[in-house]
Amino acid sequence: MIKPHGATKLRPLYVACDEQRRSLESEAQGLPSLKISSASAANAVMLGAGYFTPLSGFMDQRDLASVAATMHTADGLFWPVPVINLVQQCNYRAGDRIALRDPNIDGNPVLAVLDIAAVEELSDKDLELATRSIYGTLDTNHPGVKMFSSQGRVLVSGPIMVLNYSYFACAYPATFRTAEQIRADISERGWNRVVAFQTRNPMHRAHEELCKIAQATVDADGILIHMLLGQLKPGDIPADVRDAAIRTMVDLYFPANSVIVAGYGFDMLYAGPREAVLHAVFRQNAGCTHLIVGRDHAGVGDYYGAFDAQTIFRDQVPDGALDIQIFEADHTAYSRKLDRVVMMRDVPDHEPQDFVLLSGTRVREMLSAGEALPPEFARPEVAQILMQHYQGWQAGS
């Protein structure tokens, strides 16, 4: 199986030994504590689950600046997006052991224990350089920039020990999986080549066929459909609805035992190219050999070019930095001429009217009104689940 990034084996920071974890949980109740942001909590969950192997915790200012500027830590590890813990204020100092409290669960239970290596205050210039490098813009209308700039400017870094997976394991018990669990599933199935599909949205016919095209093209043994379970921008489809829609599609329209459906506990960054590279890093850690990178991967609005998330792998990711390979996908749609889903680059003789294309706005309007989506665009069983969501949301709004 493909090796993890920067290590010979996974390095999950979750305390797996029951006795050790209970002891640490008891100790944490008496420790000084710090309520962290949702973004920091998601970073802790990803560190705990092994997706951020080989990191040992939250990065300091030196690593933040180095990763933002060069996509390498100060020690030379290739890493595309800083994994940090920004807070509004911190009354602790280097050498202190503190409990990190979860902002996403009532009562703010302890999520992890942090041994503080440094407490550093970032300047306006530090924040601007990091923001522009990661997101490519300083525009606070960008949801990722808005989130990043609202966390605070005090950077609290150091190694962590993770005690639980926040709300993800309880809210999505059939779907949330650690990198270690996915690797075990791949191994049990006897798969060697696995292509991953990243999604924060339900999957329509074009997504379904894109997975099948990629699998056939790279001769993969199976597909990992890997959905984000964390926070999204307003208007995006909730994870439980996406989960139901995707599982229905897989059960009805994919060959048996050809797909692993799983989710990971992270908040969406909407960082476009940089986030696409991060997606590749943690899919390699999950045991995948290929990642589908499509049009406007991890993007939002018009902040990134349609295929910037592909060119970054060619232009900015050094040779040998990653073992996972990228499957570059074009926009995919149903061809009326050919009566099947195609990638648009493969049919240069087509005109726009030859495709079945619907905007996201039009899809939402149709579903809210109870109108059936064209079967060339969405499987009817999937459309029904989405329709129920939109009509319920509209009734409750």
Q: Is 198 exposed, middle or buried (0-12, 13-18, 19+ CB in 10 A)?
A: buried
Helix orientation angle between 124-135 and 61-70, rounded to the nearest 10 degrees: 40
The catalytically annotated residue of 97, 153, 200, 247 is 200
Q: Round to the nearest angstrom and report the end-to-end CA distance of the chain.
A: 48
Nearest Cα to 86, choosing from 20, 17, 157?
157
Question: CB neighbours of 163 closer than 8 A, spacing ≥ 6?
Answer: 14, 15, 21, 24, 25, 28, 110, 111, 112, 113
Q: How far apart are CA 56 and CA 114, in angstroms?
A: 11
**Dihedral of the CA atoms 115, 156, 43, 151 (nearest 10)?**
150
Nearest Cα to 274, choosing from 94, 89, 87, 132?
132
The catalytically annotated residue of 11, 21, 97, 201 is 201
**Dihedral of the CA atoms 71, 72, 73, 77 (nearest 10)?**
130
Q: How far apart are CA 313 and CA 30, in angstroms?
A: 46
Phi, psi of 395 (to 5 degrees): -65, -30
Per the annotation, the verdict on 201 as an active-site residue is yes
Q: How far apart are CA 162 and CA 279, in angstroms?
A: 21
Helix orientation angle between 380-396 and 239-253, rounded to the nearest 10 degrees: 160
Per the annotation, the verdict on 108 as an active-site residue is no
Q: How far apart are CA 190 and CA 295, in angstroms?
A: 31
CB 120 within 8 A of CB 155: yes
Q: Which residues are catalytic?
A: 200-201
